[in-house]
Amino acid sequence: MAGISYSDLRTNIRNYTEVSSTVLTDAVIENIVLNAEYRIARDVPIDAYRKTATDNFVASQEHANLPAGALFVRGVQVADGTSTLTNPTWLEKKDVTFLDEFNGSRATGRPKYFAMQGGETGNTNTTSGAILLSPIPDITYVFKVHYNAMPTKLEASSNETSFISLNFPNGLLYCCLSEAYSYLKGPMDMLQLYEGKYNKEIQMFAGEQIGRKRRDDYTDGTVRIPVQSPPQ
């Protein structure tokens, strides 16, 4: 199997640091791995966690709940009706202060702008993770939200692998080792070593996720690396 499982990752962390399970307990390693997963997800927007969800606005309600587990919103489309996503238009993202000024009279209609409000709290849709709308919807328009979800959490037995562990195992390991040496309070040279290794790997991973995956040879042309020619 390609990549690395949670069990193997836990073993590798203890082997690389040469620290036993009495210090790096299962609970401590679980937190180290979780910190690493979230760091990677915030360092690079990963295509595997790009999601979409379709729902209806609530008439006369100025906010719409985000999908469960949403990390950040990429864009919002709104239809001209209440049953299907027909003739969708993109909402313009603005600050809350802009929405207050634009719609001080709290007029209703088809939304044109949205702003972020609060933050997603976990695995259920809540009003603390929502988008504010202006104008306030006058009917239950269909809308589609494009977003990045929180990374899949690695767990013993129940969830041994994830996209990150299968496709970025070296970066995940280096990030975990950096977290582990930070927890162990050193040695500083080992902390710096694995922090440097992680930073190198995350740059290559970012080049794949937001570089190679976002272009093609037909549209963008083949990437060419300048080669210095010897002088004549």
136-190: pLDDT as tens digits: 999 999 999 999 998 889 988 788 999 999 999 999 999 999 999 999 998 999 9
Task: For residue 18, give the nearest of 220, 177, 210 by alpha carbon.
Answer: 177
- Provide the pLDDT confidence category of residue 223 given band limits of 50, 70 and 90: low
Q: Rounded mean pLDDT of 206-215?
A: 81
Q: Is 82 within 8 Å of 97 (Cβ atoms)?
A: no
Q: Is 178 within 8 Å of 190 (Cβ atoms)?
A: no
Query: Which pair of tokens denotes residue 158?
Result: 């129940």
pLDDT for 1: 47
pLDDT in tens, 50-84: 999 999 999 999 999 999 888 889 999 999 999 99
Task: For residue 125, give the nearest of 39, 52, 65, 57 by alpha carbon.
Answer: 65
CA 155, CA 6: separation in Å to the nearest integer? 7
Please, which residues have CB within 8 angstroms of residue 10's CB and are 6 or more apart in sequence?
26, 29, 33, 156
Position 232 pLDDT exceeds 90: no
β-sheet with 50-56: strand ranges across: 50-56, 142-149, 70-78, 89-90
First-to-final CA distance of the chain: 52
Q: Is 111 within 8 Å of 57 (Cβ atoms)?
A: yes
Task: For residue 17, give the nearest of 175, 181, 174, 183 by alpha carbon.
Answer: 181
Position 227 pLDDT exceeds 50: yes
